[in-house]
Chains A and B, each alone.
Chain A
Amino acid sequence: MSEKALSIENLTVTYGGITAVKNISLHIMPGEIVTLIGANGAGKSSTLKAIMRLAKSTGEIQALGQSVIGKETHEIARMGVALVPEGRAIFGNLSVRENLELGAYVKREAEGMKKRFGEVVELFPRLGERMSQNAGTLSGGEQQMLAIGRAMMAEPRILLLDEPSLGLAPKLVMEIFAAVRAIAKKGLTILLVEQNTRLALETAQRAYVLVSGEIALSGNAAELRHDPRVKDAYLGDSAHA
Chain B
Amino acid sequence: MPALAKRVGIAVLIIGVLAGVGPLLESVLTEYAMRIIILCGISIILAVGLNLINGTTGQFSIGHAGFMAVGAYGTAYTVIMLEDHAGAFLSSLPEEVAHGGVLIAGLSVGALVAGVAGLLVGAPSLRLRGDYLAIVTLGFGEIIRLVFNNASALGGPTGYDGGRPAGLPAYTNFFWVYACAAAVIAVVASLTFSRFGRALSAIREDELAAEAMGIPTTRLKVTAFIISAMTAGVAGGLFAHLQSSIRPDDFKFDKSIDVIVMIIVGGLGSISGAALGAVVVVVALELLRDAQEYRLILYPLLLILLMILRPKGILGRHELSISYLRNLFSKKTATPPTTTEAP
Q: How far is the CA of A103 from the CA of B206 in the complex (A)?
A: 13
Q: Which residue of A lies closest to B206 (CB)?
A: A89
Residues of A within 8 A of B210 (CB): 91, 102
Which of A102, A106, A131, A154 sits near B343, CB closer than 8 Å? A131
B183-216 vs A, Cβ < 8 Å mask (1 yes, 0 no): 0000000000001001101101110111111111
What distance in Å separates the Cβ of B220 from its nearest Cβ neighbour in chain A? 10
Contact with A along B319-343 (1 / 0, CB 8 A): 0000000000000000000011111
A31 within 8 A of B: no
Tell me, in angstroms, the Cα distance from A102 to B217 when the chains sit together: 13
Q: Chain A interface: which size bin? A: 20 to 34
In the complex, which residues of chain A have a beta carbon less than 8 angstroms from the beta carbon of B204?
93
Q: Determine how close the nearest CB of chain A comes to the CB of B207; give it in whole angstroms.
A: 10
Cβ B202 vs Cβ A106 within 8 A: no
List A residues 101-128 near B (Cβ within 8 Å).
Answer: 101-103, 105-106, 117, 121, 128
Q: Which B residue sits closest to A101, measured CB to CB?
A: B198
A133: B residues at CB distance < 8 A: 339-340
Residue pair B341, A90 in contact (C-beta under 8 Å) = no
**CB-CB contacts of B135-176 with A at 8 A, as 1s and 0s?**
000000000000000000000000000000000000000000
For the complex formed, measure the closest distance between the CB of B293 and the CB atoms of chain A, giving whole angstroms. 41
**Interface residues of B, Cβ cutoff 8 Å to A:** 195, 198-199, 201-202, 204-206, 208-217, 317, 339-343
Contacts of B217 in A (CB 8 A): 74
Q: How far is the CB of B53 from chain A (nearest CB, A)?
A: 17
Chain A residue nearest in CB terms to B220: A74
- Cβ of A4 within 8 Å of any chain B Cβ, yes or no, is no
Provide the residues of chain B in CB contact with A131, threshold 8 Å. Answer: 341-343
Q: Is the CB of B340 within 8 A of A154?
A: no
Q: Kindly identify which residue among A82, A94, A103 contacts B205, using a CB–CB cutoff of 8 Å.
A: A94
Residues in chain A near residue B202, CB distance under 8 A? 91, 94, 102, 105
Is A102 touching B198 in the complex (CB atoms < 8 A)? yes
Q: Which 6 residue pairs of A and B lie closest in terms of their CB atoms, listed nearest first?
A: A77-B214, A91-B205, A106-B214, A89-B209, A73-B211, A83-B212
Chain B CB within 8 A of A72 CB:
yes
Asked if residues A105 and B212 are in contact (CB atoms below 8 Å), the reply is no
Interface residues in A39-76 by Cβ distance below 8 A to B read 52, 54, 72-74
Q: Check A91 against B209 for contact (C-beta < 8 Å).
A: yes
Partner of A93, one of B208, B214, B216, B317: B317
